[in-house]
């Protein structure tokens, strides 16, 4: 079968692969994300719906506590499913779990941004029914999504659509794998109110501890007159019925929030959010989605000749990267994007080093939004530095709301290179776009405050010939924690310090008024710039003369190599099989 380089396709339903398929066929728009579960929500591994940056708090419990430890975890919340819809024919409800499926096909279209599922189903009364579901999460209006369902029967039948808002299913947490994320021990959402409105329904919720608000709902429309009946369920439900052999049904759903970082909408505004009129029109939604993605691919696509599978894989990854990344300045790019709850939906350094370069070169506005999110959390970073008895600012290793959320400081807080990662991405953005206006919107403060930390953290070591050293840090290799002079950290710190000195000279010459305001605002002293210059010049960079290489840190080459004769083969992943001291 010829490979379609613009779509991910599935021609056979395998229940054993549900978890993987739900992740691969996930759909998002940077704000809202749906795992690739079926509209009827069964069978399902994790029928997850997420909003980027919408989180719940839970206390971190320590058997042995200490000053400065992170106090609260932040977990991206499983949300109510406003797309939920069941199709019935002659009273028989369709489900892949109930049998009778003759044909199955699923496709995630990278060009159109639409997830399609199609089945041919033989009912118990032996009618042949073809059902097609198309889901779209609008890139133009990120609060809106739409579902189009087409039903064709071999004979006249009673066709029904049962629509409601499905509450998140509580899932057992059966693994110690930190990559899968924490499942909250109790429901996180309190239902405040729910109601019917013309052609649909709506409900409002609030998180128990973080105090974030959510309003969500849906509007409905059929291609012909239907009998509508309100049903009694946990939340508002509507049943649409018609005697026909063919019908199209549309469900437009929407989500609005208040309380995410920098998001201050009052509850009434959240309640009244709903959707713009044009978002209810399926054809208009498809058209605007296609136009948006045409512009995206015009800048982002990379063509590979003669390798259809590789071409598809590359486009899939670019598509997923784009649809998982926040573009509103209130959110970021989580470690698992919007494909699942792994890593609790937290934001890490990966965004700056691996994600940002793509956006900086192809979509500077998104890159700017990501930087704006970091800038908005600068005060939290300043407070964290003071908590650790350091000057300047220290950004959290993992977070959603700007506070450190990692309980294991050797592999988190000790990764001071997060400061350099953020600075690196900021300087790359400036170099590529020449958009220096972001400096006046907090970017300059961020760069100088994070640079201050290096001077306070490091010292001139007489045992290293007076070179500037950074001790007790953890680099990207989290298995080698709390080392002296991690190569990556030291090189990045040197680059950071050199660039802020260059920036200071540039601003003094090109923007003297702004420079004066900045110096006064953050009380930047001339002597500090001299310290930055000296520390960068004297930064210790590990190098082994005998091997002619830069070792990972001071002790790296002195460590014992793994002995398979004594210890046996290494079992991967190591974090699930060995204590951190091994």
**What residues are labeled active site?**
478
Q: Is 202 helix (H, G, I), strand (E, B) or coil?
A: strand
Cα distance between residue 389 and residue 457, in whole Å = 10
Virtual torsion, Cα 383, 386, 390, 392, nearest 10 deg: 40
Instruction: Read off the tokens for 466.
Output: 């007076």
Residues paired with residue 203 on neighbouring β-strands, in sequence order: 194, 216
Record the tokens describing residue 290, joined without a space. Answer: 């296609």
Q: What angle do CA 259, 261, 264 make, to 5 degrees?
A: 45
Other CB atoms within a 10 A radius of the CB of residue 396 amount to 24
Distance CA 491, CA 495 (A): 6
Please state, in angstroms and as integers, the Cα–Cα distance from residue 423 to each residue in 128, 449, 478, following that order: 60, 10, 21
DSSP 3-state of 27: strand
User: Where does 25-102 have alpha helices with state H?
Assistant: none
Asked if residues 5 and 308 have their Cβ atoms less than 8 Å apart, the reply is: yes
Other Cβ atoms within 10 Å of 272 Cβ, number: 12
- Say how many C-beta atoms besides its own lie within 10 A of residue 170's C-beta: 11
Q: Cβ distance 224 to 71 under 8 Å?
A: no
User: Is 577 buried (19+), middle (13-18) or exposed (0-12) by CB count in 10 A?
Assistant: exposed
Helices 512-522 and 487-510, interaxial angle, to 10°? 130
Read off the tokens for 373: 């999110």
CA–CA distances in Å: residue 92 to residues 98, 104, 537: 10, 19, 75
Letter string b/e over residues 437-456, b meaning 16 or more CB atoms within 10 A of that residue's CB? ebbeebbbbbbbbbbbbbbe
* Whether 108 contacts 22, CB under 8 Å: no
C-beta of residue 205 within 8 angstroms of C-beta of residue 213: yes
CB atoms within 10 A of CB 352: 25
Residue tagged 């649809």 (tokens): 323
> Rounded distance, CA 222 to CA 294, Å?
29
What does 216-276 look like in DSSP terms, one character per residue?
EEEEEEESS--EEEEE-SSS-EEEEEEEEEEEEEEEEEEEEEE-STT----HHHHHT----
């Amino acid at each position: 079968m010829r490979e379609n380089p613009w779509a991910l396709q599935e021609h056979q339903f395998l229940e054993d692969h549900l978890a993987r398929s739900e992740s691969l066929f996930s759909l998002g728009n940077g704000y809202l994300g749906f795992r690739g579960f079926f509209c009827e929500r069964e069978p399902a591994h994790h029928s997850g719906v997420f909003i980027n940056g919408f989180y719940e708090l839970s206390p971190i419990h320590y058997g042995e506590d200490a000053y400065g430890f992170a106090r609260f975890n932040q977990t991206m919340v499983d949300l109510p499913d406003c797309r939920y819809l069941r199709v019935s024919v002659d009273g028989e409800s369709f489900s892949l779990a109930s049998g009778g499926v003759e044909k199955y096909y699923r496709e995630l279209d990278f060009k159109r941004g639409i997830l399609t599922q199609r089945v041919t189903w033989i009912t118990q009364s032996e009618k042949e029914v073809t059902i097609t579901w198309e889901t779209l999460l609008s890139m133009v209006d990120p609060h809106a999504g739409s579902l189009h369902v087409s039903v064709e029967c071999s004979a006249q039948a009673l066709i029904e659509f049962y629509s409601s808002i499905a509450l998140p299913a509580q899932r057992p947490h059966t693994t110690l794998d930190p990559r899968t994320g924490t499942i909250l021990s109790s429901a996180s959402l309190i239902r405040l109110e729910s109601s019917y409105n013309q052609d649909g329904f709506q409900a409002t919720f609030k998180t128990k501890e973080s105090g974030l608000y959510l309003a969500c709902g849906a509007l409905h429309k059929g291609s012909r007159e239907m009998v509508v009946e309100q049903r009694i369920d946990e939340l508002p439900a509507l049943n649409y019925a018609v005697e026909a052999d063919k019908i199209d049904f549309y469900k437009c759903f929407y989500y609005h929030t208040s309380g995410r970082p920098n998001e201050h909408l009052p509850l009434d505004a959240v309640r009244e959010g709903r959707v713009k009129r044009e978002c209810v029109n399926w054809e208009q939604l498809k058209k605007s989605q296609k136009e948006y993605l045409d512009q995206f691919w015009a800048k982002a696509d990379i063509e590979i000749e003669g390798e259809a599978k590789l071409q598809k894989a590359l486009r899939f990854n670019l598509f997923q990267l784009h649809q998982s990344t926040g573009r509103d300045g209130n959110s970021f790019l989580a470690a698992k994007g919007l494909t699942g709850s792994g890593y609790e939906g937290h934001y890490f350094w990966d965004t700056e080093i691996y994600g940002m370069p793509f956006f900086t070169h192809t979509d500077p506005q998104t890159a700017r939004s990501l930087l704006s999110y970091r800038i908005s959390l600068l005060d939290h970073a300043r407070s964290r530095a003071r908590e650790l008895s350091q000057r300047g600012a220290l950004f959290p290793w993992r977070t959603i709301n700007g506070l450190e959320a990692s309980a294991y400081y050797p592999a988190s807080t000790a990764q001071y290179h997060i400061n350099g990662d953020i600075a690196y991405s900021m300087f790359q953005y400036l170099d590529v776009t020449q958009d220096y206006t972001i400096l006046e919107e907090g970017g300059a403060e961020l760069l100088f405050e994070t640079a201050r930390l290096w001077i306070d953290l490091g010292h001139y070591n007489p045992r290293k010939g007076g070179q500037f050293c950074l001790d007790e840090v953890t680099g990207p290799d989290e298995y080698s924690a709390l080392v002296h002079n991690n190569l990556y950290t030291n090189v990045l710190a040197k680059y950071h310090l050199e660039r802020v000195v260059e920036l200071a000279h540039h601003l003094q010459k090109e923007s003297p008024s702004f420079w004066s305001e900045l110096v006064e605002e953050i009380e930047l002293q001339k002597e500090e710039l001299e310290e930055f210059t000296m520390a960068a010049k004297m930064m210790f960079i590990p190098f082994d003369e005998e091997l002619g290489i830069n070792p990972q840190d001071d002790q790296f080459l002195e460590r014992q190599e793994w002995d398979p004769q004594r210890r046996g083969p290494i079992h991967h992943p190591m974090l699930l099989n060995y204590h951190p001291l091994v």
